[in-house]
Structure 1
């Protein structure tokens, strides 16, 4: 007879009653009820043992010798509770670092999911970006402002972030009141005195490392050049070229800023300092083989100098001092415009390959072009846009 799912328990009890009748052919009853003889005799045994319900029993094994110990599960949950934004890979790395033998990453993920800490794996992972990485620490620092955060008092906090390209170490995470060049200069001075000078900065085109009109030369850039630090600009509208600091911002948002308010800049800075310590020295980083950034970082050997050095020009060069109020240099009886960032600075005028053209240089950096063949003075040249992946 066909098996009716809606009355499975009744069918089982009916089978048992019939099978226990005197002279019953139990194997024939099994065929009629559409079950095997083993199942039929199992039901009879359960009925004899007092199980009058004959409901479905759990198929879970009595023992799970391969299951993680309660100690491992508790340790994994403890790491997750301390760092709610960390995933299974980072937690497994922390367990291994603490002397525990972690299970597979998928097992750690199952532990977190079983205890309600996370959902399943994402179904649509993002497309991987093409990445570059400097060979040594301090060869390149990426710097940016994360989007401002509104404080509970109504003011704005502008997180200034710096990430070392090689190690992902963050030498600076400051809660700033604005995005002005003076503010950034003060924070960079503090950072340079502790960690030394990088060889170059990789920045976008916004303030204070770029002017609204598209000019790349700013007073902050000139100050960095005097320290021997170059400034590279990313291509406009290509944030993926600075993927490391963009990823740092996502992590900062998830682990510090999400659904959390700060009363003032001081409270925000306390939270930033506490998290930066964890990020640099404890948090496993997938791109670093689940090691923390501090494992690959060392301070720069180039110390912050006590005073700035001015450019040195040869005695035979044509040198002009830019006025402190007007951004022009005088040459061949005419005035030629230069970037305002060089007001008060000494610039050299050097002939180029074509007759009648000259370059205006700050040390070895060309900041403007003079073309005597044109009837009018020409505008200064902005620094050329660098490639997506700086060499």
Structure 2
């Protein structure tokens, strides 16, 4: 097994071998060898005995695992734990409750069998998620739209409660549908680079093909301004992305268009995860009193995301992977 001696150990494998050879081959007394290598007589005797029996290969660390574990969970029960994890996709606590076991025991079994965490598995299949990252900026850009309900003047139900939120809706707009006030939605069009995670987002009024195509023209210009040449674009199968206008806009820029498999948003997961982060850290991060207040806070949050927010997947902000993000070399 690999050498795992702790930092305060007197002897490394090379030191053990030298000690053993002094005793076995040179005939040193155990006490003299122990004093020379600053260890105990018992330790010197142990390494000398191992050297006599197994030679130099025995100077490494041995496993501390016992030869027998009479109280270990039976193999049949371990198989039941693994089966429940694969079929039901339950966590350790729920499996433990179902089998009347300790959650810590179930966790050790799952670890022993190298079962991936639920957060790292595909919900549909239960298999480990295959993560990827492109080799260079611009090789692939993820594009998607997120729909957010507008906030009425005075605050919505998240800020002031459901009753007051409905009253604010009624006061904000005269539009009605089936007797209920309609204040509309904002559509966040996002383009995010696969390699750098650099994001460009605009809040627009709809997700029609004209709107999506015009957004991409501005997004492409933004990426070009920071030195990122877009080669491919990945979208879902929304109508705006299947339109001829969208296809021709990408063709004119010599960009390859890829679409995800139907009902498989995980393929476009980087932009989906960005939208989740956006919702948690900006859209619903605090009780805004109006839609204008929320939108006013968005440019600052997006700048923070691109330049300062630590991204765990890349080990720093997206700006650390974009050489000319600030434009000082243009």
The TM-score with structure 2 as length reference comes to 0.47
* Higher share in helix: 2
What's the TM-score once normalised by structure 1's chain length?
0.40
